[in-house]
């Protein structure tokens, strides 16, 4: 303690710790004895002041103890953050569970919340109009219609029409080639129907290839 003025005494932090620590160790008769014996020495300290010191001492102790060890999930590398962003951009129709499963096939274990955290924010214009979509993809569209035709003999003909059948077959073949060996499913424990082996890769050594005419992408380790 030191005197700050004629009628003011400044109590330093070490004095507060000593007083609060001494009072904390007292209980019952010891507390009463200390109170009687030390009342004259501590006449300038209010009881609530000592209580405030002790609460602060308690908080500081546990704060220092909790900060001595690292808590929470470990931070992911910048390369992994970039890979998650690339997967989001290459597969805008995918959800976080699908990307988690795709990363698991590369031997990378991350939480769903982590994948959602690094989802790129949309900064471009909104989706184009339906007319714009038709103008850009009319050649790749497949039109299908189904209807019935009653006959004069009271029979019913079921008619199924496919326009651009050749493109439909090519598209379905491409989708099946991707679906069975590559597409992961949560119901299959994040595996593909034909069984997809895990190919461990570093985050910076992963490349993607378009599948189903760019509708999906396959991610595999880069060849050495």
pLDDT single digits (tens) 4-18:
554 555 666 666 666
Short-list 25, 52, 57, CA closest to 33: 25
Query: In whole angstroms, how far apart are CA 198 and each of 106, 161, 203?
Result: 6, 42, 14
Distance, in Å, from the CA atom of 85 to the CA atom of 215, rounded to the nearest integer, reads 17
Strand partners, 146: 160
* Tens-digit pLDDT profile for residues 49-104: 777 878 888 888 888 877 755 656 677 888 899 999 999 988 888 889 999 999 99
Top mean pLDDT of 19-23, 43-47, 105-109 is at 105-109
Q: In terms of pLDDT, which residue wins out, 39 or 115? A: 115
Q: How many residues does the chain have?
A: 224
Whole-angstrom distance between the N-terminal and C-terminal Cα of the chain? Answer: 70
Question: Would you state the pLDDT for residue 101?
Answer: 92
Per-residue pLDDT, 4: 52
pLDDT at 31 over 80: no
Q: Give the closest residue to 201 by CA, choosing from 181, 180, 224, 174.
A: 224
Write down the pLDDT at residue 100: 92
pLDDT over threshold 70, residue 136: no
- Judged against a pLDDT cut of 50, whether residue 187 lies above it is answered with yes
In the predicted model, what is the mean pLDDT of residues 167-171? 78
pLDDT at res. 69: 59
What are the domain boundaries of the chain? 2-66, 78-122+129-221
Whether the CB-CB separation of 106 and 201 falls below 8 Å is answered with yes
Flag whether pLDDT at 140 surpasses 70: no
pLDDT tens for each residue of 193-202: 999 888 887 7
Q: What's the chain's average pLDDT? A: 76
Q: What is the pLDDT of residue 97?
A: 92
In this model, does residue 167 exceed pLDDT 60? yes
User: Closest by alpha carbon to 174, among 220, 222, 221, 216?
Assistant: 216
Pick from 187, 167, 169: nearest CA to 177: 169
pTM for the model stands at: 0.52
């Amino acid at each position: 303690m030191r005197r700050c003025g004629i009628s003011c005494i400044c109590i330093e932090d070490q004095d507060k710790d000593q007083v609060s620590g001494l009072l904390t160790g007292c209980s019952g008769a010891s507390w009463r004895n200390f109170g009687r014996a030390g009342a004259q020495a501590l006449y300038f300290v209010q009881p609530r002041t000592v209580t405030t010191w002790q609460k602060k001492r308690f908080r500081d102790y546990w704060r220092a103890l909790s900060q001595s060890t690292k808590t929470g999930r470990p931070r992911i590398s910048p390369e992994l953050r970039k890979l998650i962003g690339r997967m989001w951009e290459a597969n805008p129709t995918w959800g976080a569970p699908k990307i988690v499963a795709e990363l698991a096939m590369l031997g990378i274990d991350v939480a769903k919340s982590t994948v959602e955290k690094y989802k790129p924010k949309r900064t471009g214009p909104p989706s184009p109009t339906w007319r714009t979509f038709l103008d850009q993809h009319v050649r790749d569209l497949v039109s299908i219609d189904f209807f019935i035709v009653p006959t004069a003999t009271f029979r019913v003909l079921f008619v199924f029409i496919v326009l651009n059948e050749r493109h439909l077959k090519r598209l379905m073949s491409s989708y099946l080639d991707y679906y069975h060996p590559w597409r992961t499913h949560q119901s299959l424990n994040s595996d593909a129907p034909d069984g997809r082996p895990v190919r461990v890769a570093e985050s910076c050594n992963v490349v993607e290839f378009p599948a189903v005419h760019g509708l999906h992408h396959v991610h595999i380790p880069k060849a050495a």
